[in-house]
Amino acid sequence: MSPPVSGKSKESGTARILGSGASGVAELLVFHPVDTVAKRLMSNKGKVSFSSLSPIIFRDYATASLPKKLLSLFPGLGYAAGYKVSQRIYKFGGQPWFNEIITRKYKDEFTSIFGERKGKMMMQATAGSLTGIGEVVLLPLDALKIKRQVNPEAFRGRGVLRIFMEEGTTLYRGWGWTMARNAPGSFALFGASAVTKEYVLGVTDYSKATWTQNFIASIAGAVASITIAAPLDTVKTRIQNANFEQKVPGVTVIKDLLRNEGPSAFFKGLTPKILVVGPKLVFSYTLAQSLIPLFGKYV
């Protein structure tokens, strides 16, 4: 996602929520299966070979018909919808808000340290990092989504409200690792996108970037973000996909992962994520930027 435009928005808050929310729903329906595949690959602790891919990805439906296999990649869709829509609304609305605060209060400091041009990009990246850290409030929905994707037995027939009542703060397990992943990941996302626009594409006013420029900048930012965050994302996923009653420290996860699977295991699932980064972010960014002005005409 390219850095949103700083400064005062022409659209209302309601239009931004509706536009970004609709973008999140559409993105979810198209890309949730790929996310499921990535999560299951990251959660797999054994050696991955061509012959073992089907059981890892499709689980109990490995020998089922193709339609049933495809449907099996949509577990936890309700939780995923709550998480993805909330995340998109927060991302589109939160980063510009943080950027406005930083610009208003600390622009002189950033400019004196980095210069005017680099200072603007650093403010975008820093605002993105703060936004990423704040995403920890959505962790319960993310945790439930991941468990439904890779460990549905943990639910044992319980509904959402019952799980929230019984598990409580357990749903925030891995919050520290989530913040540690999101801070550099979001910094790289918005920072690399801004750098690409400024230095590669020569765009100084992000609001005037063309669709193609947004496409290129979004891919650069997303690839940088996902690659940098991949190791901690794997640790976070391993922590979250365990049964509710199991409390596995992140340090233990790292030790077991290095001992049993080697350093390359930190990047499990990275390839399918990167392969879908380009179309996923172009899709969500373009749709949101088209819908927000449309809703702005009516609300």
Write out pLDDT tens, residues 118-148.
999 999 999 999 999 998 888 887 777 766 6
**What is the model's pTM?**
0.68
pLDDT of 249-299, one tens digit each?
A: 777 788 888 888 888 878 877 887 788 666 777 788 777 767 877 787 788
Confidence band for 35, pLDDT divided at 50, 70 and 90? confident
CA distance 142 to 102: 28
CA distance 216 to 196: 8
pLDDT at 290: 77
For residues 12-18, average pLDDT: 81
Confidence band for 167, pLDDT divided at 50, 70 and 90? low
CA distance 34 to 32: 5
Provide the 10 A C-beta neighbour count for residue 97: 16
Domain annotation for the chain: domains and CATH numbers: 13-296 (1.50.40.10)
Pick from 14-23, 53-62, 165-174: least confident: 165-174
CA distance 107 to 97: 14
Residue 115: what residue type?
Answer: G
pLDDT at 243: 58
pLDDT at 5 over 50: no
pLDDT at 160 over 70: no
CA distance 90 to 288: 13
pLDDT of 105-114, one tens digit each?
A: 999 999 999 9
pLDDT at 12 over 60: yes
pLDDT of 45-97, one tens digit each?
A: 777 777 778 888 888 888 888 888 888 887 766 666 777 788 888 887 778 78
